[in-house]
Amino acid sequence: MVGVVFSSIIFLSVFLPIFLLVYYASGKSNVVVLLFSLVFYAWGGPNLLPLLLFYIIWNYVFGLLIEKASTHRRAILSLGLAGNLAGLLYFKYLGFVAGQISTALSLFNVTSLPEFHIVLPLGISFFSFQAISYLIDIYRGDVKAQKSCLTFATYKAMFPQLIAGPIVRYSQLAEELDARSVDAERLSYGILIFVVGLAQKTLIANPLAAPADQIFALQPEQLTVATAWLGVLCYTGQIYFDFCGYSNIAIGPGHMMGFTLPPNFNRPYIAQSATEFWRRWHISLSTWFRDYLYIPLGGNRKSERRTYFNLATVFVLCGLWHGASWIFLLWGVYWGILLAAERAGLGRIVQGLWRPLRHVYLLLAVMFGWIIFRADTPTHAVAIMKAMGGFGAGNSFDTPIEQYFGRSVAITLAVAACASALPSSPAKIPPLDLRELSRVRLAAGIAARTAVLALVIVCLFSVGSGSYNPFIYFRF
């Protein structure tokens, strides 16, 4: 169940325009935001809408209880957090855990547990973490509990960030939930960010997704050095521009509505170390783990051994947050070990390298991480790595790279390489002033607006043509 995907023609031509018309006509009403958000979520499966409503009511009530309580505040917080975690554990992890128990029982000829066929609700990882941060921030005294159930429901269900993030904390929107304004400049900036995000998704991520998916679907004996490297390069571009694109697609309508959603990416592929990479990648998630897990565990304030333990714990849970499987657990372990190694001394060695070599180190580390993240099983990941190193069983005559690497893929990879060095979110375009004496500045403004319009047309053509448009967030 995918529902109204941001990069679908129904969202672009029906849902968003109607929402904005009704929203502005209503005087930017929270009721309109909430109703459209519930419709947006229910489109992916009306039977899952009660879950979102439960999260809204549960966290609204416990937010008030935590703030008003003079005693047993920790117990109330724990119960509130347990409700959020219960939904996440049931929908996302029960089937996986039961499957592992059944596998273990079969070794002793014991009857296996029944299979659980549980539909994973869209965005449950995002809005569960959002709710957890809300309750903890109230407990810490960082924010006041929202007294209006309508206002809180608007925050929880707001459709731009509901199913694919960024993970927006209540403190970041508290003032704008009560009063916000949208002028022509902010509206145009929101449109610009939205269009850039749509282009990142439809014109870069989607074209790279096709060869990536095809190559990762090959059997180990079909993998050659060239095809394996191509598949990993394509996926490296796809996942960044898909994640970053969807974040911008969410941030853009946020500005159109008068909400300031935080940036989620900051050119992660220009980083010079794994530590720096995680300061730039999926910022709302990495800072969430830092503030609500790493620092409470002690961060780096205790012994070195405890710091390594904290890093390992954070990234193991970060891996499992992405999905209930051994491959995501392995991905988390990989990054935990690498960051611990950099802290233990590898980082100083890397910093002593020539700058281009530091960049090569980071890109290789990231790509090997993406192999684990994208592979179906650990065995599959090893097969791809072996093929990249020339130790696979593939024959270039059996699987020629030309089958996947055409002119369009080559151009898209080149564009992706250049665009990954650019700011993840666009700068504002200065307003046109026909009285401006500088003809150069006026011409630049007109050219920028013409380019944005052309980008919109190309994106709509790409979406309308029915080109490959995968939705990778169903796993999260």
Residue with tokens 């117990």: 75
Cα–Cα–Cα angle for 149, 152, 155, rounded to 5 degrees: 150
- The pLDDT tens digits for 188-222 are 889 989 999 999 999 999 999 999 999 999 988 88
In contact, 392 and 220? CB cutoff 8 Å: yes
Phi/psi at 301 (nearest 5 deg)?
Answer: -85, -10
Q: Are 210 and 231 in contact (CB under 8 A)?
A: no
Q: Domain extents for the chain? A: 9-180, 186-274+347-419
Residue ranges of E strands in 125-245: none
- pLDDT at position 1, please? 45
> 75: how many CB neighbours lie within 10 A of its CB?
10
pLDDT at 114: 73
- The catalytically annotated residue of 72, 117, 282, 322 is 322
C-alpha to C-alpha distance for 443 and 210, rounded to whole angstroms: 38
Which of 205, 284, 212 lies closest to 246, judged by CA?
205
Q: Which residues of the chain have pLDDT under 70?
A: 1-4, 112-113, 393-399, 429-446, 448, 464-466, 471, 473-476
- The C-alpha atoms of residue 400 and residue 218 are separated, in whole angstroms, by 12
Q: What are phi and psi of 309, to 5 degrees?
A: -60, -45
Answer for the pair 302, 285: CB distance below 8 angstroms, yes or no: no
Give the per-residue pLDDT at 400.
Answer: 76
The whole-model pTM stands at 0.90
Let me know if 179 is exposed, middle or buried by CB neighbors in 10 A (0-12, 13-18, 19+): exposed
H/E element holding 235?
Answer: helix 225-257
Neighbouring C-alpha atoms within 13 Å toward the C-beta of 360: 5
Residue 322 among the catalytic residues: yes
Q: Contact at 8 Å (CB) between 362 and 273?
A: yes
